[in-house]
C-alpha cells in the first residue's frame, strides 16, 4: 500500500474525538483526494506531516524547535520510503530524540493544521496537515541528540506542565496522550 493510500485509509477509519477534529479529518481527506502528491513536502502550499509525542511513564518529551521558536513534539515531513504514517512518526521521533526502544501506537491521537511560514516556495509558506501519534519510550530511556540538535526536555504528562513558549495544540496533544494512557475518551 502506498503512503498516500495508507494515509487515506487511516484517516477514513479514524474516529475523531470531537466535531472540530472530525472537520479536520474530512479536510485532510479532501486534500488527499485532490492531490496525489499530498503526502510530500513538494506539495504546496499544504501537505500531510506526521508527528509523535514521546511518552515514558508519566512524562512527555518536548523539543525546542528553533525555527518555530517554541516547544513542540517531534515530527515533520513524510518521506517517500516511509511505510505508513505511523512509521513516519516513529522515524521522526527516533531522528529527533535519539531515544532507543520506541514503539508507536498505530491509531492517531489528534490532527493539527498549522501555518508554517518557512515551509515551501511561497512567501507566506503553507500549512502542515499534521497527524499526531503517541510513541512509547522505555521508562529508563535517555535522549541522545547529535550534531547540536534542538534542546529537549522531559516534562510531566499534564497540559499545564508544558514549558513556555508553546501553544494550545501541544497542550491538547499532551491531554489526549494522558487520556489514552489512562483509558479514558
What does pTM read for this prediction?
0.94
Please give the pLDDT value at position 67.
82
User: Could you report the per-residue pLDDT of 30-78, keeping only the tens digit for each?
Assistant: 999 999 999 998 999 999 999 999 999 999 999 998 888 999 999 999 9
Which pLDDT does position 115 carry in this prediction?
83
Q: How far is CA 6 from CA 1, 11, 38, 139, in A?
A: 6, 8, 12, 31
The pLDDT score that the predictor gives to residue 24 is: 98
Provide the residue count of the chain: 185
Q: Take residue 6 and report the three cell numbers written for it.
A: 495508507
- % of the chain beyond a pLDDT of 70: 96
Confidence of residue 114 (pLDDT cuts 50, 70, 90): confident
Q: What is the pLDDT of residue 68?
A: 85
Cell of 127: 500549512
| 46's grid cell | 499544504
HSE (CB half, 13 Å, CA atoms) of 14? 28
Q: Can you name the residues that pair with 162 across neighbouring β-strands?
A: none
Q: What is the pLDDT of residue 147?
A: 54
Per-residue model confidence as pLDDT tens digits over 128-150: 999 999 999 999 998 887 555 67
Return the pLDDT at 122.
74
Average confidence score pLDDT of the chain:
92
- Domains of the chain (ranges, CATH numbers): 3-182 (3.90.79.10)
Amino acid at each position: 500500500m502506498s503512503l498516500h493510500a495508507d494515509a487515506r485509509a487511516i484517516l477514513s477509519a479514524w474516529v475523531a474525538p470531537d466535531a472540530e477534529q472530525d472537520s479536520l479529518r474530512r479536510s485532510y481527506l479532501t486534500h488527499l483526494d485532490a492531490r496525489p502528491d499530498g503526502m510530500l513536502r513538494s506539495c504546496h502550499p499544504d501537505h500531510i506531516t506526521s508527528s509523535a509525542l514521546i511518552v515514558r511513564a508519566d512524562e512527555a518529551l518536548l523539543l525546542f524547535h528553533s525555527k518555530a521558536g517554541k516547544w513542540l513534539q517531534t515530527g515533520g515531513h513524510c518521506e517517500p520510503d516511509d511505510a505508513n504514517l505511523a512509521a513516519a512518526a516513529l522515524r521522526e521521533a527516533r531522528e529527533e530524540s535519539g531515544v532507543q526502544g520506541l514503539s508507536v501506537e498505530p491509531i492517531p491521537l489528534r490532527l493539527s493544521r498549522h501555518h508554517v511560514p518557512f515551509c515551501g516556495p511561497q512567501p507566506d509558506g503553507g500549512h502542515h496537515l499534521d497527524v499526531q501519534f503517541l510513541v512509547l519510550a522505555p521508562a529508563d530511556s535517555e535522549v541522545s541528540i547529535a550534531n547540536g540538535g534542538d534542546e529537549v526536555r522531559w516534562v510531566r504528562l499534564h497540559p499545564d506542565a508544558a514549558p513556555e513558549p508553546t501553544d494550545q495544540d501541544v497542550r491538547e496533544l499532551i491531554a489526549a496522550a494522558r487520556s489514552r494512557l489512562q483509558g479514558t475518551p
